[in-house]
Structure 1
Amino acid sequence: MAGVLKAGSPSYGHWRVLVQALALAAALALGAGERASAHTLSLVVLGDSLTAGYGLPPGKAFPDQLQAALGARGWDVKVVNAGVSGDTAGDGLARYDWAVPADANALIVELGANDMLRGLPPERTKAALAAILDKAKAAHLPTLIAGMRAAPNLGPEYAHAFDAIYPALAGATGASLYPFFLDGVAGDPALNQPDGLHPTAAGAAAIVNRILPSVEDLLRRAKS
């Protein structure tokens, strides 16, 4: 048959080398793809007791349940619980350099509730959060800031100033914004512990369910 390559001919030798080269290239590409898919993303949640899991059994804090939910959706991610009960935004800033490792891939900032409960000046909270976001931006770390809202008993003037912190910072720094971390949970006795401030395990699950699309967007940014 015309055009058939015969073993031993120069053309056959060239063809064989070409096929081997293509096979090697394909194998290398497949190996690279497998290595990329095996890379576990590191997502740090820098927060207060709402992140730390105050009053919750092991494995039921927000970061734990978030990792489980992301895993169920196919994400290879380790969610690091960098929450400390009682922390203000200033406290979070003070420990940022050791709480957020250099190899982190993404960051969620959940701070400000204790500032509000203590009636700290909103401009002070805003300055601390801005410094945290500036650090993350300098490290090219995709960040989601979770907002908080002032309690009604603090008055409308305080509430107006405090509630405006989070959208203003997201707009100024390019961070993603989840407007209210306790959305759908705050004020619901069935989803909060007896103190009325900290979510139950079911409450943490409700937070995860609502924030999950925003976190997935954050992880897509980290991967890109």
Structure 2
Amino acid sequence: MKKFLILLAGLLFINTGVFASTHILFLGDSLSEGYGLDEEQSFPRLVEKNLKEKKHDVVVTNGGVSGSTSASGVTRLKWHLKKKTDILVLELGANDGLRGLKLAETQKNLLAIIKLAKEKKVKVLLLGLLMPPNYGKQYVAEFEAMYKKIANTEKVAFLPFVLNNVAGKSDLNLPDGIHPNAKGHVLVAKTVTDFVEKNL
């Protein structure tokens, strides 16, 4: 009887410990991956650290893959959904824009990702991105508007610009001027932590 009670207590601990955690998936590109840095310095990993310090029971999966476009999103999400996923933080589309891909296709891909997540009862948080001004006023404006339209249409929580206060600042970015350095990721993580915490 004593052994049974110990076993039961252990199972209860597993159920209330492991499965009670909120599992957050960051599905992104080189920005989420932490390009040029150790993975532990990437903003998704720092978000996990920040949330835990705030006493939130979370487990973060960093699904950032350098060079990824929105076209790979659905396939990658299906693979990640084999494991418990409660929240999807979607950070894709920048490479589409930098390559000059048609925004209609990017929008279609992002919507497909969100639809799949919703079908699986996964909450979606959308991170907005912007294009550099040298891509032309019209394209830059349309790219920004695409994320707003998706957020409004799908009624998902939306962070307008994930690189706010980081983009364009040489001291916060790697020499390529595109990817944040370690200091930059700390600031991005603070912004994203606040955003995610509001939507837990």
What one-letter code is carried by the residue in structure 2 that aligns with 1:44?
L
What pairs up with 1:1-150 in 2 under 5 angstroms?
Answer: 36=16, 39-150=20-131
CA distance in structure 2 between the partners assigned to 1:67 and 1:177 by the alignment: 19
Aligned pair count reads: 189
* Contact 1:44–1:100 under 8 Å retained in 2: no
Q: Give CA deviations for 1:12-58 in whole Å, capped at 9, x if unaligned.
A: xxxxxxxxxxxxxxxxxxxx899546622110000000011110124
TM-score (normalizing by structure 1): 0.79
* Contact 1:192–1:203 under 8 Å retained in 2: yes
* Contact 2:103–2:143 under 8 Å retained in 1: yes
Which protein shows a greater Rg? 1
Paired residue for 2:169, among 153, 163, 188?
188
- Residue 100 and residue 185 in structure 1: after superposition, are their counterparts in 2 closer, same or farther (change >3 A)? farther
What one-letter code is carried by the residue in structure 2 that aligns with 1:133?
I
Give the aligned partner of residue 143 of structure 2: 162
Give the aligned partner of residue 173 of structure 1: 154
Moved more, 107-116 or 94-103: 94-103
Q: CA deviation at 1:160?
A: 1.9
Question: Structure 1: which 5+ residue stretches go unaligned?
Answer: 1-31, 220-224
* Contact 2:28–2:91 under 8 Å retained in 1: yes
CA distance in structure 1 between the partners assigned to 2:135 and 2:177 by the alignment: 17
Does 2:176 correspond to 1:198? no
Q: CA deviation at 1:211?
A: 1.9
TM-score (normalizing by structure 2): 0.88
RMSD: 1.9
CA distance in structure 1 between the partners assigned to 2:158 and 2:13 by the alignment: 32
Moved more, 90-99 or 110-119: 90-99
Q: Give CA deviations for 1:60-88 in whole Å, capped at 9, x if unaligned.
A: 11111111101110011111011100001
CA distance in structure 2 between the partners assigned to 1:122 and 1:145 by the alignment: 17
CA distance in structure 1 between the partners assigned to 2:75 and 2:133 by the alignment: 29
* Contact 2:28–2:65 under 8 Å retained in 1: yes
* Contact 1:67–1:77 under 8 Å retained in 2: yes
Q: CA deviation at 1:164?
A: 0.8
